[in-house]
Amino acid sequence: QLKFVESGGGLVRPGGSLRLSCSGDGFSVDSFSIGWFRQVPGKEREGVSCLSRGGEVTKYEDPVKGRFTMSRDNAKNTVYLQMNSLKAEDTASYYCGATSSGHCPVSLTKSMMYFGYWGQGTQVTVSS
C-alpha cells in the first residue's frame, strides 16, 4: 500500500531541536504536496506546515512560524520538518500526509480530507 513512514521523534528539553523525517513508501514524495500535522490525545488534529508539489511554496501555521522549517530531498524520497526552539505546547504525535493537489490549502486543519495518504506518526515530547 502507499503510505508514509515518519521518524525522528523523541524527548527533548524546551528550547531544543528535533528533525522529523517523512519517507514515501511505494510512491515519490515529489508527486504530491506534503503536509505535516500534529495531534494531542483528546484533541483534534491540526495542521503544522505544507510544502507544495512544485516546491515553490512552503506554508507554516502561526504557532510554528519562525521556529519550524520544512524541506524535501527528492533523492532520498523524504520530506523533513526541522523543529527549533521547541516549546512544551509542541508536544504531540506528528503525522505527514499527501495530497495530489498542486497547491497547499489556505487552511491545513480544515482541508485534511484532501490528504489521502498518511503515516503512523512519531511522538514528540518537549519537557524539562
How high is the pLDDT of residue 1?
67
Range of lowest pLDDT (1-5, 8-12, 17-21, 57-61): 1-5
How high is the pLDDT of residue 3?
83
3-state secondary structure the chain: CCEEEEECCEEECCCCCEEEEEEEECCCHHHCEEEEEEECCCCCCEEEEEECCCCCCEEECHHHCCCEEEEEEHHHCEEEEEECCCCHHHCEEEEEEEECCCCCCCCCHHHHHHCCEECCCEEEEECC
* Tens of pLDDT, residues 57-86: 899 999 999 999 999 999 999 999 999 999
How high is the pLDDT of residue 101?
87
For range 7-32, the mean pLDDT = 94
